[in-house]
Chain A
Amino acid sequence: MSWFSFRTDRREAPAHPVAPPPAVAAPEVHRSLALPAVFEALSRLPKANILDLGPALGANVEHLSSYGCRLTIEDLFLTKTSVAEGDLNADLFAELLPLPGGPQFDVVFAWDLFNYFSRKELAHLTARLRQACKPGAQVLAFLWIHKSIPAQPIHFRFRGTDELVYDRRTALERPGPRFQPAEISQLMSGFHVDRSFLLRHGIQEYLFVRE
């Protein structure tokens, strides 16, 4: 299957063949308490190397363009939905995130992606991020604390330097991973939590910094 056919081939089957799917909520705007720190760091870097693990969104590219950066987009959820279970291993992450010159990224936008990988897959991903991030690099990640979370990652769009538009792609839900703090520390070994904020709508924002 070619990369171009990812989207057309991955249509999700409805949960029930008769009942219409629940309506998708309109995009919401939420303040981010970790995001200003990321943009503050970006404004200091002459030409930051950014890794966005979400989909390519025009608003985000437009926003980041004002920082004169190099932006790499690797939609990992799209990749996950297009490979067989168990194939999302260290080799595949190495292929998806090649590092010819060693650690190269200053900022990684992981968004809420960590919620959608198994513990094993996530261990492979964070191991690759450890290799990919320069010392001092920031990783912005959102973890749901609810039992039930959206069935697909949210599309986050920058709105200024401290707000995000949350665009849910589906009204369907799935069980949340409910990571424990010790688990997060273990998964993100090699990083420390620079700041962490629990937001009222059930997302915990983490800003990890590579040691």
Chain B
Amino acid sequence: MFSNKKEEPAPHRPAEPVPAARPATPASSSHAPAPPAETARRGERATIGPSIFIKGDLTGDEDLVIEGRVEGKVDLKQNNVTVGKNGRVKADIHGRVVTVEGEVDGNVYAHEQAVLRQAGAIRGNISAPRVVLEDGSRFKGSIDMETKETARPGAQGAGPAPAPSPAKPPEATAAQAAAG
């Protein structure tokens, strides 16, 4: 699935779940038509194991879990990308839902959601309609969040009006701060 160069191929990947081999279906078969490749791959998940180091661009049409090291670009716009706890990615990541439990040095572009787990770290920018940062996670950069006009608090004047009282003296304002 990858158009990349594996510099240090691991001898084996024992932890990786191996999808069941699909029986080859002849194109001329008169039985039920073979599903399109995209449909057939939906739900499948590839894993880059902890001992794998990939330098280059990753593309494809199945979900990806990165437990190893990747440098370059991860471009799986239609699929979910997970950077596992052992994952170290120095690349921009494009995905549908991008979940980071390891470390990412690069920009994250998630079409649906970006999730930074507690143990995760991102140094770069996040662009996603919905961003979840778990407390304890480390983030340095910018988050570009989609405008949701309907959800804007105070857009219809519902928010509490600020008291227009510039630079009130402490004595006067202390009483107002009773709730504080």
Chain B residues within 8 Å of chain A by Cβ, number: 46
Closest to A71 in B: B143
B145 on the A face (CB < 8 A): yes
Q: Is the CB of A199 within 8 A of B180?
A: yes
Docked Cα-Cα span, A72 to B131, in Å, equals 13
Q: Is the CB of B152 within 8 A of A61?
A: no
A204 on the B face (CB < 8 A): yes
Q: Is the CB of B154 within 8 A of A56?
A: no
Q: Is the CB of B160 within 8 A of A162?
A: yes
Q: Is the CB of A58 within 8 A of B132?
A: yes
How big is the A interface, by class? 35 or more
Known: A31-B179, A47-B147, A161-B153. A3 touches B140 (CB 8 A): yes
Chain A residues numbered 148-178 whose CB sits less than 8 Å from any CB in chain B: 161-162
19 pairs across A/B with beta carbons < 8 Å?
A: A3-B121, A3-B123, A3-B138, A4-B121, A30-B180, A33-B177, A43-B154, A46-B147, A56-B116, A56-B139, A61-B143, A66-B151, A66-B152, A70-B143, A70-B144, A73-B140, A162-B160, A195-B167, A198-B173
A contacts with B: majority SS? mixed
Docked Cα-Cα span, A96 to B166, in Å, equals 32
Q: Is the CB of B166 within 8 A of A195?
A: yes
Min Cβ gap B124→A in Å is 11
B141 on the A face (CB < 8 A): yes
Docked Cα-Cα span, A49 to B149, in Å, equals 16
Q: Is the CB of B153 within 8 A of A39?
A: yes
A131 on the B face (CB < 8 A): no
Contact of B135 among A6, A58, A66, A67 (CB under 8 A): A58
Q: Is the CB of B167 within 8 A of A70?
A: no
Contacts of B167 in A (CB 8 A): 193-196
Docked Cα-Cα span, A199 to B177, in Å, equals 5
Chain B residues numbered 100-131 whose CB sits less than 8 Å from any CB in chain A: 103, 116, 121, 123, 130-131
